[in-house]
Amino acid sequence: EYLEFEKYEGVAEKRLRGLESELEEREGVLEVRLHHRTGVIPDGEDIVFVVVLAGHRAEAFRTVEDGIDRLKEEVPLFKKEVTVSEEFWAHER
């Protein structure tokens, strides 16, 4: 039905900005922007945005992949899944 995201206020934003800075230090990467939506997100809508400006597509693609992986691992965000039959916080499973 939908997903609901909450963030650890202040900490999540600080970690996102730090992650952007770390990724921008890579050779050939000029700028990185990371955004993760919070609140109720209807089924099928975009949740995470990773934008990379780089000199070549290889650096851009690698940085996008690493950016999304590290965002999911390192940024304190919490996801509730609501289906037709149940709802649960993903970190509790």
Cβ–Cβ under 8 Å, residues 35 and 48:
yes
Tokens of 33: 């922007």
Report the C-alpha gap between 41 and 16 in whole angstroms.
20
The pLDDT, as a whole number, for residue 92 is 83
Tens digits of residue pLDDT in 7-56: 999 999 999 999 999 999 999 999 999 999 999 999 999 999 999 999 99
Q: What is the pLDDT of residue 93?
A: 78
Contacts of 17 (CB under 8 A, 6+ apart): none
Mean pLDDT of 55-69: 98
